[in-house]
Amino acid sequence: MIPYNMSKPELKSEEKTKTDYDDHDDPRSDKQKDKIKAVALLSGGLDSQLAVRMMKEQGIEVEAVAIKTPFCDFDCGKGCGHKVLEVATELDINLKTVYLGKEYLTMLKNPKYGYGSGMNPCIDCRMMMYEEAKKHMEKIGASFVITGEVLHQRPMSQNSNALSIIEKNTDMEGKVLRPLSAKLMTPTKVESKGIINRSLLGSIRGRSRRGQLDLATKYGVMDPPNSAGGCLLTDPQFSKRVRDLFEHEASEPSLNDVDLLKIGRHFRLDSYSKLVVGRNHAENEMLLSYCEEMDYLIQPISIPGPVSILRFSIKPDMRKHKKLLERSIKITLRYSDTVQDCFYEVRIVNKKRNWTKLVSSQRCDNKEVELFRI
């Protein structure tokens, strides 16, 4: 590892190595370049892969860390094109994936720097990501971390103040290089020492993708992925569900609770109970697999209809319990192949109590449904 304070090597003119940096001279010796490593926070989107390409172009050896949280999947099918494994393979770099599960939920419940427009705790979230990159940096003896962050691309976490808070809190001041916007920022240590040629770095700012697309063309990136458009936590509707979960969950929500947030129609029946109704066959299958011992699984059997889960956050009061179950059945039937005022048969299963019950019920009307919808 090359220490930051290593002085710029004096090279005799005949020793200077011409690189493919157009007409710039690289101040480093080949020996130095061999040893310089960086850790990239790789998302699989365009920006972070461009950051890696820019570093590789400068002869830096890059390894990547990809972070997965309960609110993002690398291949979640949300259209963000985040295929991080494919990207790492294409870039020919080692990839370490880190899953932030329970600890992410704990942070999300009470983020030190608050939320953005939705339930996105971007500053705290980035701090956790930087921590993981830092750990890997120290482990492999890398000199710095690179990210695909672009100044002012995201309002909460990509302004100078937020970036500086994130660096300070993770003890990474001067050690995070953002190649796409570096020329607009205070030079990092590797730039100041001439280890990285600052003149080759970018000055991209804001939400326009023009600069990134030009770089993608330069590096021959075929089919550059679209802008990710933010994570689930920036989605207003999804944020409503997350907020509802935190407001009503007696203890810490589980990862299963979070998985449940991503599918179905959600209804808050009272402070301690929630109903989730599948919207299609795939969601019905998922609900069957997410169903826990304490849950009530509701399924119409005489007509086509969804799978629903009635979940309590505390042990239910048995007097209220019957009423909630009846309401859940009626809501489930509202989304089944039913008509008003007719009765349909529904099966209810509760593994904990080890019982299965068949009941006959009517559907509720649209007004009633809207009263409970989250």
Residues at the interface with ligand SF4 (CB under 6 A): 120-122, 125-126, 157, 230-231, 233-234
CB of 243 to ligand SF4, least distance (A): 14
For residue 174, the minimal CB distance to ligand SF4 (Å) is 21
Distance CA(157)–CA(139), nearest Å, equals: 26
Strand order of the β-sheet with 355-361 is: 265-270, 273-277, 308-312, 296-300, 344-350, 355-361
Nearer Cβ to ligand SF4 (154/327): 154
Q: How many CA atoms lie within 13 A of 99 on its CB side?
A: 6
Please give the single-letter amino acid code of residue 20: D
Nearer to ligand SF4 by Cβ, of 121 and 300: the residue is 121
Q: From the CB of 230, what's the least distance to ligand SF4, in Å?
A: 5
Nearer to ligand SF4 by Cβ, of 68 and 198: the residue is 68
Shortest Å, Cβ 125 to ligand SF4: 3
* Residue 100 Cβ vs ligand SF4, minimum distance, rounded to whole Å: 10
Which lies closer to ligand SF4 via its Cβ, residue 115 or residue 267?
115
How far is 198 from 107, CA to CA, in rounded Å? 35
Cα distances (angstroms) measured from residue 301 to each of 155, 292, 306, 323? 49, 21, 10, 21
Residues 6+ apart with CB under 8 A from 224: 46, 212, 213, 216
Task: Estimate to the nearest angstrom the gap between the alpha carbon of 336 and the chain centroid.
Answer: 33
Closest residue by Cα to residue 280 from 304, 315, 244: 304
By beta-carbon proximity to ligand SF4, the closer residue of 196 and 233 is 233
Give whichever of 176 and 324 is closer to ligand SF4, judged by the CB atom.
Answer: 176
- Minimum Å gap between C-beta 232 and ligand SF4 is 8
